[in-house]
Structure 1
Amino acid sequence: MAAFRGPKVRLWLWRWRRNPLRRRSDAVEAWIVFVAWVFTVLGGVITGLAAGHTVEHGLAQQRAERRSVPALLTENAPTARAAESGTFVWAKVRWTAADGSQRAGRTRVHAGTGAGTPVTVWTDPAGRLVTEPASASQARLRASLVGVLAGVSGAGVPFVCGRLVRGRLERRRMAQWDQEWERIGPLWGRKTS
């Protein structure tokens, strides 16, 4: 014979259903958990999307502003040890800016490159040396990674706040149970006959 089973109630809705044993603190805790999860999910998604969009927009702006410019090495690049073949070293270069002025600076080139060798450098609108901008696919990857990290961080704030409030409610509820037990517990020792 199968045991009697009452109506099936979703466990996660137990705090909202009618129950004579449900206290006000149970309903408050249910709403706190609900609001914390809503803010956790929405906050994480919105923060992640906003951060990813901002990073991708910034990198696209860099791609639009930065230009590759031919330059010449003005000195021999230092040589690397044999074990480090294919490494890059810093060397002095000279290039002509967009306004026609001659500029000089240091950039990374292959080790052992001789003076007078043409190299490509990247400049900003003012003609200063800058790093090569990220490609569109690199920008998408960086924006995605930053978006995920920002989203997780943004979701962590309401999640942690909800956990702290819920922990405080739990401590308060346990203190109330202790008070009730001190009042009711001694009555259990009395004989009723």
Structure 2
Amino acid sequence: MRAMTGVWRWRRSPLQRRTDRIEAWLALAAALMIVFGAPWAGWFAGRAAHGALLQTVRLQHQQRHLVWVTVDRLVSRAPLDPDPETSSQRDAHGRVVARWTAANGSPHLGQISTPRPVEPGERFRIWTDFQGRVMPRPMDTSTAGTHAVLAGLGTAAAVGGLIEGGRRLAVGQLMARRYRRWDREWERAGQDWGRADAGS
């Protein structure tokens, strides 16, 4: 971005090349797009993601229900991972065979994970769909907001990176053009330019 200063400092310099001017204007345009365009793109993407996620939150809360389950028997008390240092707290709780009634009134019996250590006959609640299939907890609005913010930040960073990448690509093309021009000028000057016996 140092080339941006060349827009003002070199505006009347006899040493200024056309490619220098183009490079400086490219840097200025890229900086303005990063400062103003990337945040706008991030805000727009975050807002769109937030709307979609809130719709998902509403649907999940409509389709999932908290039901009580009664533990029938324990499947295993042993952790799934035999190493106590790497086994998770959830593994230690194990799985149980439990009974529950779905929101549509149908009875169910199956193996489920427990949120805490339980004994046969104990009750706890799980999320199911209308037919009684066990489902993950529905997303809440704060989680949706966090995901939307992350989507907006990611989009802003990606747009900023694309703009800077485009600027660097354009500057690379300008440099290649500049070097080709220098090569042509050296060819015109000849191999003996500057020698004492060349008459120059």
Normalising by structure 2, report the TM-score.
Answer: 0.68
CA displacement at 1:76 relative to structure 2: 1.4
Does the 8 Å contact 2:106/2:131 carry over to 1?
A: no
CA displacement at 1:167 relative to structure 2: 0.9
Alignment of 1:94-173 (within 5 A): 94-104=99-109, 106-110=111-115, 112-124=117-129, 128-173=133-178
- Take 2:52 and 2:156, find their aligned partners in 1: how far apart are those partners? 18
RMSD: 3.5
Could you give the per-residue CA deviations for residues 60-88 of structure 1, whole angstroms, max 9, x where no partner exists?
A: 34443323232233431421359458434
Q: Relative contact order (alpha carbons < 8 A, sep ≥ 6): 1 or 2 greater?
A: 1
Alignment of 1:3-152 (within 5 A): 12-15=4-7, 17-64=11-58, 65-66=60-61, 67-81=65-79, 83=84, 86-88=89-91, 89-104=94-109, 106-110=111-115, 112-124=117-129, 128-152=133-157
Does the 8 Å contact 1:77/1:114 carry over to 2?
A: no
Does the 8 Å contact 1:97/1:103 carry over to 2?
A: yes
Q: Which piece of structure 1 moves more, 130-139 or 157-166?
A: 130-139
Q: Which of residues 168, 180, 184 is equivalent to 2:185?
A: 180
- Take 1:53 and 1:92, find their aligned partners in 2: how far apart are those partners? 43
- Take 2:28 and 2:54, find their aligned partners in 1: how far apart are those partners? 39
